Amino acid sequence: MKILVTAKRVTDPDAKIRVKPDGTGIETVGLEYKLNPFCENAVEAAVGIVEKGGGEVVAVTIGNDDAVNNLRTALAMGAERGIHVKATDDQLDSDLAARLLAKVFEREKPDLFILGKQAVDGDSNQVGQLVAEYLGLPQACFASKIEVAPGKATVTREIDGGLETLELALPAVITADLRLNTPRLPTLPNVLKAKRKPIAAVTPAELGVDTALKVATVAYEAPPQRKGGMKVKTVAELVDKLKNEAKVL
Amino acid sequence: MSILVIAEVSGGKLRKATLNAVTFARQLAAARGDTVAIGVLGAGVGGAAAEAAAFGPVHVVDAPALATCTAGTWAGAVADLAGAVGANAVAATSSTFSRDLLPRVAARLGAGMVSEVVAVTPDGRFKRPMWAGNVVATVEVKTPKAVFTVRSTEFALADPAGAPGAVAAAAVTVADDGKAKVVSFAPTVSARPDLGEAKVVVSGGRGLKDKEGWKVLDPLADLFGAAVGATRAVVDAGIVPNDLQVGQTGKVVAPNLYFAVALSGAIQHIAGMKASKVIVAINKDEEAPIFSVADYGLVGDAFKVVPEMIEEIKRARAG
Ligand SMILES: Cc1cc2nc3c(=O)[nH]c(=O)nc-3n(C[C@H](O)[C@H](O)[C@H](O)COP(=O)(O)OP(=O)(O)OC[C@H]3O[C@@H](n4cnc5c(N)ncnc54)[C@H](O)[C@@H]3O)c2cc1C
Ligand SMILES: Nc1ncnc2c1ncn2[C@@H]1O[C@H](COP(=O)(O)O)[C@@H](O)[C@H]1O
């Protein structure tokens, strides 16, 4: 089975992000970048399927030149080769990312495309669904379990109110949730091996995609801050405050 | 033109969260001189459509192919409905239902989509959180049509309209695309209220250790008729079901009162609860980040403090 997966570069998920005073973006000085956690789940799922049943995993990123590092992480986890679509974050919206990925899909013709459910920088949670619609494919979003059989995938998804299991005809699009698996840490030999794996670079123009954006981000600001930090000494004091100050009892 | 709110129906009933999106749509309609209509789709949704009519005109698509929600089939139905009623915007309250479905609708309509809208600006732009809520971005939709999911915590439940709206069957035919089918659903069974609707939420973290330790929260939740929430660590450990996860990648809640018990307050958790009115944190580590957003912090062992607090609250209420 041939599986396409994403390897999006994101700011360190645990970093405290601050907005630039002029509101044009975020402070990037000293910031580290990682592979999007949900993409790690996607890569782990794909590599696991291929390890069991054979096939090939191809990883794709859309990003600046540094995104190649994150693509290498996916290769170190077990993807065979990488595709780097050259575009910077400010040249993208979810729709354009999806149209670029759909074009890569059409070139590669995989049986399965596994993405993350969301990117932890933009938090949009759109791209997998958009790709599925542009390609006319079935989707299973927020997957916590994937089983493949010839011609179909059975996917359990985490939705409000419980767990739903879907059967999809292949090819199909799946977006990974965090409980899908525990992503492996690349071993040193695999990191070294990944350096020699092929990465093909391609531009949006070469893919024949119109780069006009549908949604433009025009300003960034810090959210309103809570005035927290007050501590009480005893349970009695806490309950007194809840009753007489906050009036929530 | 009109703004079409897609209703969420569960067990034949209109989900209350639909009304948060109605409020958003009314704000947007007021700014643009549009009207608001509600789309009720599904199989056997006559009851839900009648409920929705209290809030505006309703367009119904009732079809067997919509009995389960597979996004491919539904996206065609919603996009066709938007076309049939001349809607230039489609909106729904953010949930796994709308997050699954609406991007596909946007692709069909050639529309830009904004996720998790928290505000409409006077000049017709939209605010949305990014980076786990550490940044609020202002975005502009460049396409004539637009699609939105909206944060329930930022838009109040809509009041009924002055006069009930008409309920009309829409001229939309639905064909199952046959590419996806629901084979089973394992519901979370709970006697407690829905996380999104509860006035009080009691959340616990890894510090409660296991299913046995988790029980310390039950009497506290009982006392307030509260919903129970959890951190990712607790869900990953299999202590509670996945749909109780509060945070960046789980549910976003803003109750009147939020108890954060034995959870550290990771960025990703705070993203889901910081809009709560009053936050109480109980943690044995005085340096825990959760204290920085808490109105009332108490340093102590949850297994000791929570039972004491329950007794004290009972006394305070009696007195
Ligand atoms: C991509 C991504 C998405 C994520 N999404 C979410 C999300 O949506 N929601 C979420 O919650 N997390 C999310 N996380 C996980 C998050 O980063 C934290 O790991 C998680 O919130 C920690 O859970 P916790 O506070 O229960 O555990 P810990 O951080 O381990 O904290 C346990 C706390 O309990 C305290 N404690 C221990 N024993 C006691 C006791 N007896 N009495 C009182 N206090 C005690 C400790 O002092 C400590 O502060 C996400 C992570 C990633 C990478
Ligand atoms: N620039 C990108 N490069 C590769 N994959 C991406 C990119 N942007 C989004 N994705 C994929 O789409 C998913 C959803 O992203 P989003 O809709 O932006 O939250 C992510 O988890 C990735 O799998």
* Average pLDDT, integer, range A211-227: 95
Of all ligands present, the nearest one to the C-alpha of A142 is 2
Distance in angstroms (rounded) separating the CA atoms of residues B291 and B265? 8
The closest CB to that of A169, out of B142, B179, B280, belongs to B179
pLDDT-based confidence at residue B42 (cuts at 50, 70, 90): very high
Of all ligands present, the nearest one to the C-alpha of A38 is 2
Interval B71-101: pLDDT, tens:
999 999 999 999 999 999 999 999 999 999 9
Residues of chain A positioned with their CB less than 8 A from the CB of B299 = 231
Interval B264-289: pLDDT, tens:
999 999 999 999 999 999 999 999 99
Interval A29-55: pLDDT, tens:
999 999 999 999 999 999 999 999 999
Interval B212-241: pLDDT, tens:
999 999 999 999 999 999 999 999 999 999
* Average pLDDT, integer, range A64-70: 98
Distance in angstroms (rounded) separating the CA atoms of residues B69 and B100? 9
| Pocket flag, ligand 2, residue A139 (CB < 6 Å) | no
The closest CB to that of B187, out of A122, A157, A161, belongs to A161
CA-closest candidate to residue B159, choices B26, B255, B38: B26
Of all ligands present, the nearest one to the C-alpha of B289 is 1
| Pocket flag, ligand 2, residue A118 (CB < 6 Å) | yes
pLDDT, chain A, mean: 97
* Average pLDDT, integer, range A89-97: 97
CA-closest candidate to residue A35, choices A87, A77, A85, A94: A77
* B51 beta partners: none
| Pocket flag, ligand 2, residue A131 (CB < 6 Å) | no
pLDDT-based confidence at residue A237 (cuts at 50, 70, 90): very high
* Least confident segment among A98-112, A182-196, A222-236, B67-81: A222-236
Distance from CA of A60 to the nearest CA of B (A): 21
Query: Is A229 a residue whose pLDDT tops 90?
Result: no
CB B79 within 8 A of CB B106: no
| ipTM score for this prediction | 0.97
Contact A165/B71, CB-based, under 8 Å?
Answer: no
Q: Which helix (H) or strand (E) element contains residue A59?
A: strand A56-63
Calculate ∠ Cα A152-A157-A161, nearest 5°: 145
In degrees rounded to 5, what are phi and psi of residue B223? -60, -35
Structure confidence at residue B213 (pLDDT)? 98
Structure confidence at residue A25 (pLDDT)? 96
CB A160 within 8 A of CB B95: yes
- Residue to mutate among A139, A211, A221, with most B CBs inside 10 A, is A139
Tokens 């403090």 appear where? B305
Of all ligands present, the nearest one to the C-alpha of A122 is 2
Query: Is A98 a residue whose pLDDT tops 90?
Result: yes
Contact A167/B137, CB-based, under 8 Å?
Answer: no
| Pocket flag, ligand 2, residue A127 (CB < 6 Å) | yes
Topology of domain B200-318, CATH: Rossmann fold (3.40.50)
* β-pairing verdict for B119-120 and A172-176: unpaired
The closest CB to that of B112, out of A162, A214, A236, belongs to A214
Distance from CA of A32 to the nearest CA of B (A): 14
Please give the order of strands across the beta sheet that includes B87-93.
B112-117, B146-150, B87-93, B2-6, B35-42, B58-62, B167-169
Contact A139/B180, CB-based, under 8 Å?
Answer: yes
Q: Alpha carbon of A200 to those of A58, A107, A203, A207, B311: distances in Å?
A: 11, 13, 10, 13, 65
Which residues make up the CATH 3.40.50.1220 domain(s) of chain B?
200-318
Contact A160/B96, CB-based, under 8 Å?
Answer: yes
* A149 beta partners: A152
Distance from CA of B155 to the nearest CA of A (A): 17
Ligand 2 atom closest to residue A5's alpha carbon, by position in its atom list: 23
Share above pLDDT 90 across residues of chain B, in percent, rounded to a whole number:
97
Tokens 């307030």 appear where? B224
Contacts of B192 (CB under 8 A, 6+ apart): B198, B221, B226, B227, B228
Distance in angstroms (rounded) separating the CA atoms of residues B78 and B259? 39
* Domain annotation for chain A: domains and CATH numbers: 2-244 (3.40.50.620)
pLDDT-based confidence at residue B1 (cuts at 50, 70, 90): confident
Contact A137/B72, CB-based, under 8 Å?
Answer: yes
Q: Within its chain, how far is the Cα of A166 from the centroid?
A: 21
* β-pairing verdict for A162-169 and B180-187: antiparallel
Structure confidence at residue A227 (pLDDT)? 87
CB A90 within 8 A of CB A64: no
- In chain A, the largest separation of any two C-alpha atoms, in whole Å, equals 68
Distance in angstroms (rounded) separating the CA atoms of residues A220 and A217? 8
| Pocket flag, ligand 2, residue A122 (CB < 6 Å) | yes
Structure confidence at residue B319 (pLDDT)? 81
CB B2 within 8 A of CB B86: yes
- Report the predicted TM-score, pTM, of the whole model to 2 decimal places: 0.97
In degrees rounded to 5, what are phi and psi of residue B81? -65, -45
- In chain B, the largest separation of any two C-alpha atoms, in whole Å, equals 63
Pocket residue to mutate for ligand 2, from A65, A127, A175, A178, most atoms within 8 A of Cβ:
A127
Return the CATH number of the domain spanning residue range B2-169: 3.40.50.620
Query: Is B157 a residue whose pLDDT tops 90?
Result: yes
Calculate ∠ Cα B157-B10-B77, nearest 5°: 95
* B136 beta partners: A221, B129
Strand ranges inside chain B, DSSP E: 2-6, 9-10, 13-14, 35-42, 58-62, 87-93, 112-117, 119-120, 126-130, 135-141, 146-150, 167-169, 180-187, 200-204, 227-230, 257-261, 278-283, 296-299
The dihedral formed by the CA atoms of B70, A124, B107 and B34, expressed in degrees to the nearest 10: 100
Contact B296/A242, CB-based, under 8 Å?
Answer: yes
pLDDT-based confidence at residue B257 (cuts at 50, 70, 90): very high
pLDDT, chain B, mean: 97
The closest CB to that of A129, out of B104, B139, B186, belongs to B104
Residues of chain A positioned with their CB less than 8 A from the CB of B119 = none
Contact B135/A17, CB-based, under 8 Å?
Answer: yes
Structure confidence at residue B149 (pLDDT)? 98
Q: Which helix (H) or strand (E) element contains residue A2?
A: strand A2-6
Distance from CA of B242 to the nearest CA of A (A): 7
B288: CA distance to ligand 2 center in Å? 32
The closest CB to that of A248, out of B100, B278, B309, belongs to B278
Query: Is A234 a residue whose pLDDT tops 90?
Result: yes
